[in-house]
Structures are given as structure tokens and as C-alpha cells.
Structure 1
């Protein structure tokens, strides 16, 4: 029985025509299947390589150095990565929004003398009530409170309290420092 099945295999292999004998359509089909196989193998190899750098993959190589707490790179994305680029883009966007907020306060706020302190560019301080600022700024952005907190952290504005709430803090004064 073993010889019989072996002879069948040989016969089947002999029945496969030479690729040169194929028609144009059949050759195109073989070429496209070969291309699909090569593309799939290429994707597989790239994916396997990427998984070596993925800290959540079981394929992670121990040779990848992960920064430890206290090192300068700890908590920061890899240099040149897409994550680093997205962080830089977000920082730029938020900085633009903080600048725009300061400009809005200059435009709608009341100016006054700052008592000799040279915080303002022309020696004046601009103040506005939070309610008025909220009503005006809501058409520009829906993130006013977050932008105010960021601007205060950068030393550009000041207000009392940790957070400003619409309605409750409408009469709180927001002061533009620079």
C-alpha cells in the first residue's frame, strides 16, 4: 500500500505543467499569489520586529533598556517616536491657547495701574471677572478652566482659589500678570 500511494504522488507531481506552458492569465494569478505571500511575509517580519520593542509583548527582548525611576529619561517617550512628536504638538497647541487667553483678557479686561510693578508691558494690569471671561471665551474654546490653570502655573495669570466654577465663581477676578 505504501508504494501505491507514493506512485500516486509522483504522478500528481508529473501532472503539474511547466509555468512556461501557462496562459497569460494563469501566470498572472501565480505571480499575484507569490506577491501576496511576499507581502504577508514582509508584514510578518516587520510586526515581529516591532513586538521586540513593545513592553507589553511577550516577544520583548531583555536587551531593551527601560529607564528606571530617578533617571532623566524615566516617564518620557523614546526620542524620535510618534509619542514624542504628539507630545510636542500638544505642548505647542496648549501654548497657543494660553497666549490667546491672555490676549482675550487684554481685550475685554479693565486696565489699571499695577503700583510700579513692571509685570505688564506698559505698567498696567488687566483684570476681568471670571463670568465675563467665561461668556466671551466659550465661543473660542470649551477648555477655559484648564487653560487658566495652565496659565497660572506659567505665572501669566492669577486668581483666588484652586479652581474656578461657572456660576459659583462668576465674580472672581482673574488678573493678567504679563
Structure 2
């Protein structure tokens, strides 16, 4: 064996790139195994017998059933709320523009009414989620109608009532939209280029 080959084999550089020894492999396996066991120990769906002996996780009323603060799941939820709020506002605007006063004799009654069939024909060109949006809007006390759900043709004559003046509805929904945008910005700080663009505006 030449001197050059001996020198290369004995050099530190070659030793750095040598494959890990059996001892290193066993150590790595044990580390990964213990990490897995720790995760399974706090996983309520694990079949591990140690789960029952663990202290149960405590949630406050605000945390229960909600994603972890600052997580991507929470951000997706805020984005979904933003989209739904915008679509509900658009629905109320359409009802206001296309409807008639519920009680023409009373000037203090700001409610407006439109039949489901007429609203369906107008809204179908905008979105295919009319019934879902109406149910959400009813839950928020923006609109009202009879029945638990509405079906095309069967419920065409059911009156849909816009309960509040459109100015009040805009105010409520715009506040929710701003709140969702703020929460999204907190969870997703803008990139450097986006920050400077917003400052210019």
C-alpha cells in the first residue's frame, strides 16, 4: 500500500464520513423509540396501558373544541369565517336590493321580504350555497323563514325576511370581517415586501 493511500485512510476527513457504527445505530433507534413512546403516552387513542394512569388534560371553556392558538388550523378557521361573513353580507345585500317592504304602512318596520323561489333564481348565478348561507344568516339573526330547511320548487313560496335595516347588517358583518382579517394577520405575519406595500397605502 502506498504512503498516500495510508495517509488518506488515517486522515480525520475520512473518519468523518465513515458509516455509523452499530453502537450509534442502536442509540439512534432507542432515542426514536423513546420519543414515540412519549407521544403515544399522551395520545388518548393509543392502546398503550399507560394512558389511563396519566393525568387528564385540562381545557378552559375558551380552549375546548378549538385549535391550538397560533396554529395553522386556527388560521384556516379564521379564513373560513372571513369567507362566510363576506358571503352572508352579500346575501343580505341581494335580499335588500331584490325584496319588498314587509309592512308598507309602518315606516318604522325596516324588515324586507322575498320569496325563496325568487331569491333562488337570483342567487344561483352567484353561488350554489344559498340554503347553507340562509341557515347561517338565520342563526346570526339576520334573516328568518319557516321550516328547518328549504327545497327548490317545494318551498318556492316560503317568505325570506331580512330582519334588520341593511345599514345595521353592514355594520355588524363588516366588524366581523375586520376581526377575522386582524386574527389572520396575527397568525400569519406578512412577508417583508407585503409590509412595505401596506404601509404605502
TM-score of the two chains, using structure 2 as the length reference:
0.54
CA distance in structure 2 between the aligned counterparts of 1:54 and 1:139, rounded to whole angstroms: 47
Residues 77 and 83 of structure 1 are in contact (CA less than 8 Å); yes or no, is this contact kept in structure 2? no
Q: Does 1:90 align with 2:91?
A: no
CA distance in structure 1 between the aligned counterparts of 2:114 and 2:97, rounded to whole angstroms: 10
> What SS does structure 2 have at the residue aligned with 1:17?
helix
Q: 2:45 aligns with which of 44, 50, 56?
A: 56
CA distance in structure 1 between the aligned counterparts of 2:42 and 2:108, rounded to whole angstroms: 53
Q: 1:161 aligns with which of 131, 144, 147?
A: 147
Within a 5 Å distance, the mapping from 1:138-177 to structure 2 comes to 138-177=124-163
Q: Which has the larger radius of gyration?
A: 1
The aligned counterpart of 2:172 is none
Q: How many residues align?
A: 143
What's the offset of the Cα at 1:106?
A: 1.4
The aligned counterpart of 1:76 is 65
CA distance in structure 1 between the aligned counterparts of 2:95 and 2:82, rounded to whole angstroms: 20
CA RMSD of aligned residues (A): 3.8
88 and 21 in structure 1: CA distance in 2 versus 1, 3 angstrom threshold: closer
The aligned counterpart of 1:65 is 57
In the alignment, structure 2 segments of 5+ residues that lack a partner are 1-5, 165-201
CA distance in structure 1 between the aligned counterparts of 2:41 and 2:124, rounded to whole angstroms: 46
In the alignment, structure 1 segments of 5+ residues that lack a partner are 1-13
What's the offset of the Cα at 1:82?
A: 3.0
CA distance in structure 1 between the aligned counterparts of 2:128 and 2:105, rounded to whole angstroms: 30
114 and 92 in structure 1: CA distance in 2 versus 1, 3 angstrom threshold: farther
User: Which string of whole-angstrom CA distances, capped at 9 and with x for unpartnered residues, describes residues 27-63 of structure 1?
Assistant: 8xx39x88xx9xx99xx69x75766665434597935
Q: Which has the higher helix share?
A: 2
TM-score of the two chains, using structure 1 as the length reference:
0.60
Residues 42 and 54 of structure 2 are in contact (CA less than 8 Å); yes or no, is this contact kept in structure 1? no
